[in-house]
Structure 1
């Protein structure tokens, strides 16, 4: 195993941050998998899961059981990790720019498409290498003007040539769930089974400009752009895995998650050994735009009637919002049936604040429910 330090653009002459990556195996022997944690720096369960996975990979390396290439980045966001306000971690948005750390990644498909029209061939395997070289060239040509942009560039330089990319996050209070690209579901489903996802939300591009989309989306978009002209393989599958809630930084849970990731790496042929039997899929995949967001109809005390992971029926009460002055209680119900996969940590809400989400089987218009 080797450790690499990628310096980020400095904001002043007295400080320097690095993106630190751990590299196992040898490039080119088998597939490459890239895993990073805590891109939203106050979301820490994934960081602990990778801590435990590293111990398992160290043992596998000593036994000569690493067949492919594995790159781990346990602190994907050294900028956000330092951000606190009155003792509270604030790792979702950059204090300097106000940007969400998981947005505004470069659109590599758009950047390299015209160039590829003159370079692609009739061989899919050759085209995979051509596309990866074009991505690397485009990323190296970027001249970041901010520390956060240099961090995005450094992450993508590590991940752009991976066959599978896992971005480990968590929610406020949640069960394990994941986000992926609809065209890649057949390759993501084994991951959903091993990690015990209680919701798998799929979309063909949300337009968010997130890290996982920057890695996986270019391949199926380029395949569509060159359909009938050049064969474009599925060069990278990417998924965002939400490892429960922010407070679920627990050794027992992290060991379970690390074991699940290890089993998935065995399934992918990155690690030697027979993977454990694939568990049942806990819930079928649902469309990303079938997720219903329930919001507070008024200001008040928030009382949830269900825990994350509960099955919610249509028109079932989910939340009480109580005015402590008048005593009036607003009942927030779900207009769909599905799993409530996350809920907010807020217990006194302003009107319109997001309370929780329910994964429904059918696409919605707007995806928002204020009250019922």
Structure 2
């Protein structure tokens, strides 16, 4: 069926203004699986929007040829609020400047919202239980009454994504190689996408502690399964955060490659008729998010690096140097920054000016380093 484009107005907080989210729908959910793709929930992460732009070009061609067999929903930008947050010609799209925090933290707990609605409703049929749970999720989300613009955005995005079998939340890092955050509940099922995407790191956690968007849709199936052990509840949603390189990596070439990885995934999963070609060799195995070292600056100044992205490092290797331009003794202005674990050095800082605690890099390792809150804010 032809593409349907919808424009959803958010709650207006100031007279004479209203922001809109655009949603493109291809195919139909009555004919197969459903995929949901959104770009730039962190609105300053432009490589994600480049990926959806090129994905949409491919979907247009597939739609004209009648090749779409499921439903594919694409939001070319997920956050018009953040897209409007320019300060001195710089887009500040990660955190809500009105005070509601990081756009990708504190999303809904669908387990808590639905668990009591399922009492005496679940059956001995796994597929039937999926339908019952998804209906309960929609009922719970429908009952939310937003009082802010951001709350209306949350309700809109979550209501759409909660219907999907596959949820892709597209982001990017600062200066970075491509990588993924996934639930361990979806590994190794998503190995094919990791290979097509060229992920250099895949980090797993069932609950990273921050209420990020992708975890909203994976966690309930396992959590409800533990609450209702006598009823079969499969892991019905595959959801992931896709980190599309770094902020400077915006080009038609890179965007086309990233869009093509998504398109091939849809072919491999039967949402699009076609041949995805041979699966490339994976560049990495998955490791725990708790094994990712987030390297912080030990002080103020600026940082230089002595390791390229993609370097395999050992604990104790020097990856960079903090330089304090205010040091009274210039011979003591340099503080080495060391790797705290073995692994791949896969992200670093684009803007080299730092303050104490600024994130200067990440290493994906295999040894557990922390528990509880696992994310960078």
Both proteins in one fold, TM over 0.5: yes
Whether 1:27 aligns to 2:15 is: no
CA contact (8 A) 1:38 1:47 kept: yes
2:20 aligns with one of 18, 21, 25: 18
**Is 1:231 matched up with 2:232?**
yes
Consecutive unaligned residues in structure 2, runs of 5 or more: none
> How much does 1:98 deviate?
4.1
Within the candidate set 195, 198, 208, 1:196 is matched to 198
Give the Cα–Cα distance (whole angstroms) in 2 for the partners of residues 343 and 367 of structure 1: 23
Q: Does 1:131 align with 2:130?
A: no
The aligned residue for residue 103 of structure 1 is 105
Aligned pair count?
367
Secondary structure, aligned partner of 2:266? helix
Worse-matched range after superposition: 165-174 or 332-341: 332-341
Deviation at 1:365, TM superposition (A): 3.2
Distance of 1:366 and 1:105 partners within structure 2: 20
The alignment partner of 2:101 has SS state of coil
Match in the other structure for 2:292: 291
CA deviations 1:38-86 (Å, max 9, x no partner) are: 0000001111111111111111011111010000001100000000111
Aligned residue for 2:49? 47
- 2:253 equivalent to 1:252: yes
TM-score, structure 1 length as denominator? 0.96
Q: For 1:87-110, what per-residue CA distance to the aligned partner results, in whole angstroms no more than 9, with x for missing partners?
A: 110000111124111112111111
Alignment of 1:120-199 (within 5 A): 120-199=122-201
2:368 aligned with 1:363: yes
Cα deviation, 1:298-331, whole Å, max 9, x if unaligned, reads 2222101122222112211101112233322111
**Whole-Å Cα distance in 2 between the matches of residues 333 and 188 of structure 1?**
33
**Could you tell me which residue of structure 2 aligns to residue 340 of structure 1?**
345
Paired position in structure 1 for 2:214:
212
Once residues 4 and 186 of structure 1 are traced to their aligned partners in structure 2, the CA distance between those partners, rounded to angstroms, is: 34
* Larger CA deviation: 294-303 vs 128-137: 294-303
3-state SS of 2:240 partner: strand
Following superposition, the deviation at residue 24 of structure 1 comes to 0.1
Stretch moving more, 145-154 or 340-349: 340-349
SS in 2 for 1:280: coil
Residue 188 of structure 1, CA deviation: 1.8
**Counterpart mapping for 1:29-108 below 5 A:** 29-108=31-110
Q: CA RMSD of the aligned region, Å? A: 1.4
Q: Deviations over 1:9-33 (max 9, x none)?
A: 1102311112210000011211100
TM-score under structure 2 length normalisation: 0.95
Please say if residues 300 and 350 of structure 1, whose CA atoms lie closer than 8 Å, have aligned partners that are also in contact: yes
Map 1:278-357 to 2 at 5 A: 278-324=279-325, 325=327, 326-327=329-330, 328=332, 329-357=334-362
